[in-house]
Amino acid sequence: MTLRPPTSALRPTSRRILRTGLPVLMLGTLLGACSTGPHDSTGLARPQNKLLKEDRGATGGNDQLAKSGVNAYLWRGAIDTLSFMPFASADALGGVILTDWYTPPATQNERFKITCFILSSNLRSDAVRVSVFRQVLQDNQWVDTPVAANTVSDITSKILTRARQLRADSGHKN
């Protein structure tokens, strides 16, 4: 009795379709995701942050966010704090912000990505979880490297400070 790996159960035509069809499908998906929005004078698509068009005032959107278990002040504080980076995804009702890779203008050989979770409807320090990912360009390849020890706590503090400021601006005390 000959044992074969599970992939040998695929017929040669099935394997060929997977080898050629999958990259074509992925390329089509990537091209379909390209922006067809407004372009600048160079022909490049202008970055759009649809969240900036939303009401980000201290009281705007509290009803929906309160029902979802996400603190509206923390959410808006996180959006304001991370707005210098391009957003890949932001779900206010789920309390999740995912940024795309950001390369600081001063250092072209490193890039950062941030994931932020709003975990509670309470304005507390443990209601925000931030993860920062850093990559450095080495030999024309991006390599994962650790961030500075205080980076996550600094970003979390800035989010909390902005959230408290929004809460104070809305007339709440403490």
CATH of the domain at 93: 3.30.530
Summarize pLDDT for 13-54 with one digit per residue, the tens.
545 544 555 455 454 444 444 444 454 555 544 444 444 444
Contacts of 63 (CB under 8 A, 6+ apart): none
Global pTM reads: 0.61
C-alpha 102/C-alpha 110 separation (Å) is 9
DSSP-derived letter for residue 140 is T
Domain count, the chain: 1
| 5 belongs to a structural domain | no
| 118 belongs to a structural domain | yes
Phi, psi of 12 (to 5 degrees): -55, -35
Domain of residue 160 covers: 63-168
